[in-house]
Amino acid sequence: MSSPIRATLLLTTIAVGVWALDDATERSDLRLTVEALPTYEIAESVSGAAGANNYDWKGLPNQVWQLGIEKLWLGERKDWGGAVYGLRCNAATQTAHPSGYAVEGATLLNTTNEELRWQRVGLGLVGGWQTGAAAIDGIRLFGELTVFAEGAAIYATLNNTADGDGSLGYGAEAGVRLAVLLAESDWYGGISVTALAGFAQVEFSVLSDTTTSTMDLGRSGVGVGVVIGRRF
């Protein structure tokens, strides 16, 4: 089973579990997010019998698509304004193929066709505030400001590893998101702007297990997205 399929199944399982924990007396939002976010910059540390070197990967993509599911609780209130809090889960995948590397003041070309393919699944907390809705011909307009923090599991494969298998790593991320949303009945949707910062790390054995390659991944910046949800 491919990694994107596994990530989708994990997202679905978490969403069903969160739904089962829901309190019928409380109002809540269940939503899907699709975002174009800054992707990881990669710094590779290689150490072995021949010594150690650090390589900054160059020529990588600037953004990555991320799919997410969020569950927000609103308490027992009936209106559209006030505090919200809940859980978020998301997944992303990308192949990083550098054009070259910066090492010790020099630039090297990627002559070995090295590439890193990674899949990331994040799970965390989200909370913030929704404004009251302004009604215009049955359409309600409201805003939302939320902050989030999450941990992540990173599964990655490096095409020049000793055994060709992948490695499991870890990461964390935090950020803030501003959304402008339109609602009709209990359905709503809109656009969002997200500012975030995060890191991840994955370690590999290369060159017949004689060398260790540690990938330090980091990202920060601003991305945009779409939010589609329903209020229950």
Residue 26, domain CATH: 2.40.160
Asked if the model's pLDDT at residue 160 lies above 80, the reply is no
Highest averaged pLDDT of the listed ranges 37-51, 191-205, 208-222 = 191-205
Q: What is the pLDDT of residue 65?
A: 96
The residue that leads in pLDDT, 196 or 208, is 196
- Take residue 129 and report the two structure tokens written for it: 């505030």
Average pLDDT, the chain: 85
The residue that leads in pLDDT, 111 or 25, is 111
Share of residues in the chain with pLDDT > 70 (%): 81
Structural domain tally of the chain? 1
Task: Return all residues near 62 (Cβ < 8 A) that are at least 6 apart.
Answer: 38, 39
Q: What is the pLDDT of residue 68?
A: 96
Task: Return all residues near 173 (Cβ < 8 A) that are at least 6 apart.
Answer: 122, 124, 148, 149, 150, 152, 196, 197, 198, 199
Burial 65-74 (b: 16+ CB within 10 A, else e): ebbbbbbbbb
Closest CA to 230 of 69, 24, 62, 111: 69
- Take residue 173 and report the two structure tokens written for it: 């991320």
Q: Which stretch of 32-36, 45-49, 100-104, 195-199 has the lowest confidence by average pLDDT?
A: 45-49
Q: 49 pLDDT band (50/70/90 cuts)?
A: low
Q: Cα 156 to the chain's mean position, in Å?
A: 15
Asked if the model's pLDDT at residue 15 lies above 80, the reply is no
**Which residue segment(s) compose the domain that 129 sits in?**
3-231
Prediction pTM value: 0.82
